[in-house]
């Protein structure tokens, strides 16, 4: 095998492994969506349970309902954190282990203990890692959770207010005799919108990707970015351990449109070929939240003159 063939074989092996990991990541995203949906349904049921016999949120203890809903949100956050822990560890393991087939092709020694070491280093590295916005992973999730709590509780309060308003209107109308047809229609519409089942449905939507300003979308983005980050960096670490002197930034074949990644993949600032960077000069990976790029180690034998 010539050096060139070896290099191409390594690149194919890395790309294949990376594509496999992206499929695993899609399963994690689906699990995250299912988790939010499950809690969204539970919150909806709490709201429906609190309704009066007209199906309205009238005479409910708002603080008690808010406490019940807040408790569900806290349980969701705990389950979500478990899912993140698992996904981060799995992504670090996968990234570190990606070096094994590469090392075989390159003929480099790569003891399993080295990979295990890279993997355990990476999960704690991610927790310490602070992005440009000054937040680490826990702080970012905590901020999203706070926003979610606010959004859900304020939607719940609006629902209770509407239910009470329509109930009052009803009672006033009944005292004044039968209303005309137009008024009846208006009231019926307002009644429909104020029903607990409707309030619950709208709040449940906040837990899904369909909902406007939905919460799960933000969490999903964090999961995608952070698992990508730890996966890429674990591979950089194990590549370094295997004797790589740098990494090559490669575009995914499904790279949707030109962005900063095209610059990273074509620049040749260090004489390592297009997209080649010494270990201490690799651009921050991933370059953007949904970056599909992958990194391939550069070994000394590739650059010897």
- Minimal distance, residue 292 CB to Zn ion, in Å: 6
Q: Which is nearer to Zn ion, 131 or 287 (CB)?
A: 287
Q: Which is nearer to Zn ion, 58 or 295 (CB)?
A: 295
- Minimal distance, residue 260 CB to Zn ion, in Å: 7
Asked if 236 interacts with Zn ion (CB under 5 A), we say no
Q: Which stretch binds Zn ion (CB under 5 A): 140-148, 183-191, 200-208, 258-266?
A: 258-266
Q: Which is nearer to Zn ion, 228 or 239 (CB)?
A: 228
Asked if 261 interacts with Zn ion (CB under 5 A), we say yes
Rounded distance between C-alpha atoms, residue 96 and residue 145, angstroms = 31
- Minimal distance, residue 228 CB to Zn ion, in Å: 9
- Minimal distance, residue 282 CB to Zn ion, in Å: 13
Torsion sign (Cα): 70, 74, 79, 83: positive
Rounded distance between C-alpha atoms, residue 141 and residue 133, angstroms = 13
Could you give the 3-state DSSP secondary structure of residue 250?
strand
Sheet of 294-298, strands arranged across: 276-278, 246-250, 294-298
How many residues in the shown chain lie near Zn ion by CB under 5 A?
A: 4
Cβ contacts of 116 within 8 Å, gap of 6 or more: 96
Torsion sign (Cα): 34, 35, 40, 42: positive
Q: How many Cβ atoms from other residues are within 10 Å of residue 66's Cβ?
A: 16
| x/- track of binding to Zn ion for residues 272-301 (CB under 5 A) | ---------------x---x-x--------
By CB under 5 A, name the binding residues for Zn ion. 261, 287, 291, 293
């Amino acid at each position: 095998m010539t050096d060139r063939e070896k290099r191409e074989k390594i690149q194919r092996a890395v790309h294949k492994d990376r594509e496999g990991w992206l499929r695993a990541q899609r399963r994690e995203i689906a699990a995250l969506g299912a988790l939010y949906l499950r809690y969204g349904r539970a919150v909806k049921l709490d709201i429906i349970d609190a309704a009066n016999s007209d199906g309205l949120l009238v005479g409910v203890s708002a603080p008690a309902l808010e406490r019940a809903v807040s408790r569900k949100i806290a349980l969701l956050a705990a389950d979500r954190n478990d899912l993140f822990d698992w996904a981060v560890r799995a992504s670090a393991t996968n990234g570190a282990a990606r070096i094994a087939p590469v090392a075989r092709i390159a003929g480099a020694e790569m003891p399993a203990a080295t990979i295990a070491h890279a993997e355990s280093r990476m999960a704690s590295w991610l927790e310490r890692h602070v992005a440009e916005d000054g937040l680490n992973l826990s702080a970012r999730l905590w901020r999203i959770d706070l926003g979610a709590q606010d959004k859900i509780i304020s939607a719940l309060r609006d629902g209770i207010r509407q239910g009470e308003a329509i109930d009052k209107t009803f009672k006033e109308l009944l005292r004044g005799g039968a209303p005309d047809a137009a008024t009846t229609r208006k009231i019926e519409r307002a009644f429909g919108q104020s029903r607990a089942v409707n309030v619950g449905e709208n709040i449940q939507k906040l837990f899904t990707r369909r909902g406007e300003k939905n919460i799960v979308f933000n969490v999903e983005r964090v999961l995608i970015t952070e698992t990508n980050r730890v996966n890429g960096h674990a591979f950089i670490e194990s590549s370094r351990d295997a004797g790589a002197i740098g990494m090559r930034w490669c575009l995914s074949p499904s790279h949707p449109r030109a962005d900063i990644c095209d610059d990273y993949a074509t620049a040749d600032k260090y004489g390592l070929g297009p997209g080649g960077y010494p270990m201490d000069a690799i651009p921050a990976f991933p370059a953007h939240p949904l970056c599909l790029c992958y990194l391939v180690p550069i070994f000394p034998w590739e650059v010897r003159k």
